[in-house]
A and B are shown apart, each in its own frame.
Chain A
């Protein structure tokens, strides 16, 4: 290499460095600003966060979103790296008990004043307050809610066996399942991912007794874990696992939606987000029936999944201003309406009027059931979606549940023992 070309190379790289830092200098004007990390880059999630960014910009802020597409763990790895290097994002996605766990490793922003000013605490489900206000202070805010315990019945399959109403109890569910099996329809529609298998058991237990669910799954109470309600959930899960598609392997549940819509599979237990998936695949509201999953005690129950933002402490005043501005926006009715309208989720606020045409009947029903379940003290947190326990406990429990669902030689009694054992090992 001759010296002249090397010199020009140096000059070029120098120019590149300077041109990159130029916008940074221009930004020091003091406009409220946030840097955001989430995994939401595509689909309705990507669209919703982009819309939130536009709202933030319109309110006078400077919005910088760095999506880390893929698994939540990839997003967390980036967050970990940034925290380690002393440069956390102003705001990041994080959910469930991980909020409390991560808040111990880096300082967070106290949002108590913002929440009090918005009168927000009165309109949020108590289970969610505990998660987002882990050590007595609000450090994070839920963004949207999904109901896990929703049932979806293929209209074609229902018509074939003459089913016109949703099953209200597990006994009714099983009766429909038997009818479908006799008619050559696979009663349970499912995917083969771990959370999918774990979620089936979770819905069974919360449908049998939300109180037992709270004690066994959320409080890891040893006696309840070994008690009759949990055993009943294992028995119900075994019944459903025999009605599942044996060929799912590790495929995502959405692979089998065409089969479900054709009427070859009958009933799907899945969170509300599946509605967005149906819509995107071109199916109509009339192609399926939906409502709450079976509930044996007759009162409304709500198995919660919620996405949230956690606010990381930064020294720069423009970040602090940006964080409080974003917090204010996220709590507003209009923002929540806009966000849930795009993703198909439910607003966090329990005092919303969803008569607007952006919402579907399914969203209205689920949202009303959240308020009703909170009143009946039957709102619980999802295990399979990392709401009930920190990740290491969740993973150990889900592993044992997945083994139970896929290995039909394990008896319900044995499955229950293995779950209790798995919990004891990580407690």
Chain B
């Protein structure tokens, strides 16, 4: 066996890979299991190790906060996904036109991603506040009838979070789409052009269908962004007006840390995890089906 006498040059890469992997597994899997367990205990301020069955889940599912949050996350995820994908694709297609200064634009569009969610939330909170933001400026300019008060409207405040979220994430979607667009075979584009397809038709019928796996990737990544949205909403609306824009992650934080009910907060966290699982498992099955199909065709 050579393994007993490996040179440092051989051991180092193994260390570099396995130590972080083991630590991540311990952290992610270990603490997930711990949270699942706590959700079945009567824990309040500190973890306690009794057993209360599904009591915490029943209690959480009966709160107004959770029910509002669950409805909100569906609306938010769908809108956020649609808007971000649309904007990201639009930017990518525009950047794909071999413009001069593409790098500059790409950097500008990607930049919001470098800003923390809290900063995004605070800044958009000012911009969207009718009393100090856009509305005030436009009214001050003379359009006295101008109204843009979604942030203080119970039924529309959620869409403000969508707007700010899309602003932040569409650059990321753009980068993925752009990579996809660049990977499309140039011959395919040329063939379409020779056949007389205009640019719009080329994209719609030739380019986009070839990069559809990118769409799936973007959807999945954005969806898990959406489901764990927390700081953005806290900084932007604080869950308000009232509790009309609370999201599941805020309910988790509220119960665990503000109310000091670790068991209930953990139950909410597990429910949130189940939402992610509901999205990711079908995706995993789909991927598996695809590889199987590809293997059969080969």
A residues at B contact (CB < 8 Å):
1, 3, 73, 76-77, 80, 83-84, 98, 101-102, 105, 192-194, 245-251, 255-256, 390-392, 395-396, 399, 402-403, 405-407, 425
B100 to chain A, nearest CB (A): 42
Q: How far is the CA of A192 from the CA of B157 in the complex (A)?
A: 14
Q: Choose among A3, A194, A256 the residue that contacts B240 (Cβ–Cβ < 8 A).
A: A194
B137 to chain A, nearest CB (A): 13
Residues on B with beta carbons closer than 8 Å to the beta carbon of A83: 46
Residues on B with beta carbons closer than 8 Å to the beta carbon of A1: 8, 12
How many A-B residue pairs have C-beta atoms within 8 angstroms? Tell me: 91
Given contacts A247-B131, A249-B151, A425-B62, contact A392 B125 (CB under 8 A): no
List of 8 A-B pairs having minimum Cβ-Cβ separation, nearest first: A247-B131, A250-B238, A392-B259, A406-B241, A403-B242, A406-B242, A247-B130, A73-B257
- Classify the secondary structure of B's interface with A: loop
25 inter-chain pairs at a CB distance below 8 angstroms, sorted by A residue, are A1-B8, A1-B12, A3-B8, A73-B257, A77-B257, A80-B46, A83-B46, A84-B46, A101-B45, A102-B45, A192-B238, A192-B240, A249-B125, A249-B237, A249-B238, A249-B241, A250-B236, A250-B237, A391-B260, A395-B258, A399-B65, A399-B242, A402-B240, A403-B243, A407-B242
Given contacts A1-B12, A392-B260, contact A399 B238 (CB under 8 A): no
Given contacts A1-B12, A406-B154, contact A249 B240 (CB under 8 A): yes
B63 beta carbon closer than 8 Å to chain A: yes
Residues on B with beta carbons closer than 8 Å to the beta carbon of A406: 154, 240-242, 244
- Classify the secondary structure of A's interface with B: helix
Residues on A with beta carbons closer than 8 Å to the beta carbon of B242: 399, 402-403, 405-407
**B258 in contact with A80 (CB, 8 Å):** no
**A101 in contact with B260 (CB, 8 Å):** yes
**B154 in contact with A248 (CB, 8 Å):** no
**Bitwise interface map of B from 43 to 69 toward A, beta carbon under 8 Å scored 1, else 0:** 011100000000000000011110000
B108 to chain A, nearest CB (A): 28
Given contacts A250-B240, A403-B242, A406-B241, contact A245 B131 (CB under 8 A): yes
**B129 in contact with A251 (CB, 8 Å):** yes
Residues on B with beta carbons closer than 8 Å to the beta carbon of A102: 45
Q: How far is the CA of A296 from the CA of B128 in the complex (A)?
A: 40
**A248 in contact with B131 (CB, 8 Å):** yes
Residues on B with beta carbons closer than 8 Å to the beta carbon of A255: 132
B261 beta carbon closer than 8 Å to chain A: yes
Find the A residue at minimum CB distance from B45: A105
Find the B residue at minimum CB distance from A245: B131
A290 to chain B, nearest CB (A): 24
Residues on A with beta carbons closer than 8 Å to the beta carbon of B231: none
Q: How far is the CA of A354 from the CA of B103 in the complex (A)?
A: 66
**B243 in contact with A402 (CB, 8 Å):** yes
- Which residues in window 48-100 of B have CB below 8 A to A? 62-65
Q: Choose among A248, A391, A399 the residue that contacts B152 (Cβ–Cβ < 8 A).
A: A248
Find the B residue at minimum CB distance from A394: B259
**A391 in contact with B46 (CB, 8 Å):** no
Find the A residue at minimum CB distance from B262: A80
The residue among A102, A194, A392 with the most chain B CB atoms within 10 A of its own CB is A392
Find the A residue at minimum CB distance from B65: A399
Residues on A with beta carbons closer than 8 Å to the beta carbon of B65: 399
Residues on A with beta carbons closer than 8 Å to the beta carbon of B125: 249-251
Q: How far is the CA of A193 from the CA of B235 in the complex (A)?
A: 11
Q: How far is the CA of A402 from the CA of B244 in the complex (A)?
A: 10
Residues on A with beta carbons closer than 8 Å to the beta carbon of B62: 425
